[in-house]
Amino acid sequence: MYDDLHQKITNLEKDILQIEDNMIEFEKLKYEKGIKKSIQRLELDLKYLSILANGAPINKNEDRRIMDFLRIHYDNLQKLSIPA
């Protein structure tokens, strides 16, 4: 069970990083629909990761790492602007 949970957390972190990379490309291309969809997906993935991490039986170091990851990427999300 722990391995499955750990894999889900790892996959979500990779997905979040990929979404942020995609958003950089979408901003360069001025692709507003892609940016909006990415922001929505990013919000959902961050919430899901937070839920998993808060309920997970993980050690303190892993928990701290995940919480730092969440803080950094929630901050990044707050800095993003949705095109008008």
- Model confidence over 5-50: pLDDT tens digits? 889 999 999 999 999 999 999 989 999 999 999 999 999 999 999 9
* Residue 53 covered by a domain: yes
R_g of the chain, CA atoms, integer Å: 14
* Residue 13 covered by a domain: yes
Tokens standing for residue 15 = 């997905």
Q: Name the residue range of residue 63's domain.
A: 2-79
* Residue 20 covered by a domain: yes
* Residue 17 covered by a domain: yes
* Residue 66 covered by a domain: yes
Could you give the CA distance from residue 67 to residue 34 in angstroms, rounded to a whole number? Answer: 27
* Residue 84 covered by a domain: no
Contact, 37 vs 24, CB < 8 A? no
Give the global pTM: 0.86
* Residue 62 covered by a domain: yes
Q: What is the mean pLDDT of residues 39-68?
A: 89
Domain count, the chain: 1
